[in-house]
Structure 1
């Protein structure tokens, strides 16, 4: 299983003969849901499209101008999934999405380098890795990695990049693989020679992915952070190459925006944000106290009027306001509808006799476009229509019931 994409990872275009083309299906996200859509499975004599494997996603691009939706390995073949078919025996001209390929080459070679350096320095083995859309991570067989260790690893990997260390790929048959080569095993359906990726003087590792030919092509590796993984392991997050520049650009833009908001330089941002957060907490506590006092006042007014039902809405209210109002009226024989929040994001609570609540709760919930449930003398729901019109409909339901 050695395709042209693995032999010549820097190649961007190629021509190959179509060996087979069969109707198929492919699973895609359509409006956030997975759906199967029609597709064609196209197999070529050879390909520069990398089929997903070894933790590396597949390549994308075009075959004869037709978008390549997905590429998967099946035994010795790379299967290209297209929305249209191509005649068997026809010549297919392929053009890969080079930015995607180049990014994957940088991240994958960066992973090999980090894995080797971590093992050499601290003996932590890599048990798996994930090449994400923006950030990748390596799962290390250790409970933790200290900040000092992270800095040591980052310094060492970037030292190897500055040395322009070469990366070579060799192919071996069966038992000819050198003993020092690292491996987590081959897929059950592996066919053909085994590829070994060697970072000169650093590491040799069995791998099917596409890699840079020199570590200088990685430009720079930034270790971002770690988090606790599964089974007492640690996930180490990193970015390489062009992703570092993109990360810096996003960070600088956020810094510019914060400078405008705080009207102070970046060196003061953390201090100002801390003070602002403390002020917000004080404000929230004050607001909560005022809302509870307001709930008591509102309840006293309702007690004086002694209505069969009451409707109370506060746009600036919350669940605590509703609870305080309901508690103040708990001893009164009044059906109470309390709504709080914004017109498109609020809450409703209906309390009263169990028969009234079970009858009117779902109706009122429906007119306020909400989802909730009733239990005994209370019906609660999150609602998305709290405008004047919707609230008027809810009040009408109550009024008609008590006529």
Structure 2
């Protein structure tokens, strides 16, 4: 299989003929969710739209102005998924969504370059790769990689990019061609038919690949390895190339400006200032916990010292937490028959504590009214609430139940 987009990755449109159009029902991703779509699979005489393969996602574009929702390979055929049918034999204009294609070209070519350099410098072969929406990763077959090795791979990669080395495809009609023996490959797909396509980075590597690539490494602009992670005896390198590097730098600079305004200090001070904030927060958190514990004790003593304490103790404290509820429940019980304690704002926590039969009966009902879930045993039921505005009806339910029980 050799498509126009594989012969010339920079070709943005072409005129083709519709060979076939058949009804299709496939699953596609819409707004991040998979859904079944009923449309039409259109096969053309040729296409500038790349079908998914080789770790590269499929292109998007239009056929006679109709949006192409998916491009998949089926043996030697390329299936273009359209929402409406096209007449077989008709002449159509095919256009690629260039910004998506250009991004994929830069990331895929960047992967080839990093793969070649990691192997040449350290004998780290690539076992797989993935082109993601924001970042891409390369899985290399080594149990570890040092920061110095990563820095060296990145340095050499960008030196090759600055040198503007040529990158080009070659088609071999015969799978048995002896030239293919020296080509890096992970094997051909089981349903492969036709010519074998090889992509060469001049003087660096030759790799069997079906994807779209830049014609000069200078078109990658730059490449940045963002991180490394050990996973199942291998190392994952996350990287960005081309326009993604520019976008990353712009976003990082914008974050720096915002942090500078918030922290009242420049980027070189951000780490130090955040560490100071963390220490201050820990100190404030300890103080708040201590004050809440004291508040719980005081609330409990006020209740205990009242001349005629209500057997139903009910309180809401916006600033409270789980420890506040536990401390307060210990203070008012067993003097109170039942304690109903809530903390938080629109969402928060709730607790019913007291007589086991009452708690077991009322707990699930109160949880339902508060839009939450909970669990309990031994005279205590507690959980999260998402509708704290229903606290008054929940309290009324408890009072009515206790009155009827008495």
**Residues 28 and 70, structure 2, Cα contact 8 Å, conserved in 1:** no
The 5 Å alignment of 1:156-195 reads 156-172=156-172, 173-176=174-177, 177-195=179-197
Deviation at 1:371, TM superposition (A): 2.6
Work out the CA distance in 1 between the residues paired with 2:372 and 2:305.
31
Offset from partner CA, 1:165-220 (integer Å, 9 cap, x none): 11121112211143221111111111111111111111111111000011011011
**Residues 41 and 79, structure 2, Cα contact 8 Å, conserved in 1:** yes
User: Does 1:46 find its partner at 2:46?
Assistant: yes
Change beyond 3 A, Cα 1:328–1:29: farther
Change beyond 3 A, Cα 1:106–1:38: same
Offset from partner CA, 1:114-142 (integer Å, 9 cap, x none): 00000111111111111111111101111
User: Does 1:59 find its partner at 2:59?
Assistant: yes
**TM-score using structure 1 length:** 0.95
**Residues 308 and 402, structure 1, Cα contact 8 Å, conserved in 2:** no
**Residues 313 and 336, structure 2, Cα contact 8 Å, conserved in 1:** no
Deviates more, 1:242-251 or 1:179-188: 179-188
Offset from partner CA, 1:58-111 (integer Å, 9 cap, x none): 100111111111111111111111122212222221111100000000000000
User: Does 1:203 find its partner at 2:202?
Assistant: no
**Partner in structure 2 of residue 238 of structure 1:** 239
**Partner in structure 2 of residue 294 of structure 1:** 295
> SS of 1:398's equivalent?
helix
Runs of 5+ unmatched residues, structure 2: none
Work out the CA distance in 2 between the residues paired with 1:332 and 1:34.
56
Change beyond 3 A, Cα 1:378–1:274: same
**Partner in structure 2 of residue 89 of structure 1:** 89
User: Does 1:284 find its partner at 2:285?
Assistant: yes
Change beyond 3 A, Cα 1:83–1:127: same
Work out the CA distance in 1 between the residues paired with 2:221 and 2:329.
63
Match of 2:320 among 317, 321, 327: 317
Work out the CA distance in 2 between the residues paired with 1:355 and 1:30.
50
Work out the CA distance in 2 between the residues paired with 1:79 and 1:284.
59
Change beyond 3 A, Cα 1:29–1:210: closer
**Residues 311 and 335, structure 2, Cα contact 8 Å, conserved in 1:** no
> SS of 1:179's equivalent?
helix
Deviates more, 1:326-335 or 1:80-89: 326-335
**Partner in structure 1 of residue 339 of structure 2:** 336
Deviation at 1:330, TM superposition (A): 4.8
**Residues 23 and 38, structure 2, Cα contact 8 Å, conserved in 1:** yes
**Partner in structure 2 of residue 105 of structure 1:** 105
**Partner in structure 2 of residue 259 of structure 1:** 260
Q: What is the total number of aligned residue pairs between the two structures?
A: 399
> SS of 2:165's equivalent?
coil
**Residues 333 and 354, structure 2, Cα contact 8 Å, conserved in 1:** no
Work out the CA distance in 2 between the residues paired with 1:339 and 1:226.
45
Runs of 5+ unmatched residues, structure 1: none
**Residues 259 and 269, structure 1, Cα contact 8 Å, conserved in 2:** yes
**Residues 3 and 48, structure 1, Cα contact 8 Å, conserved in 2:** yes
Work out the CA distance in 1 between the residues paired with 2:90 and 2:354.
75
**TM-score using structure 2 length:** 0.94
Match of 1:227 among 221, 226, 229: 229
User: Does 1:216 find its partner at 2:237?
Assistant: no
**Residues 372 and 383, structure 2, Cα contact 8 Å, conserved in 1:** yes
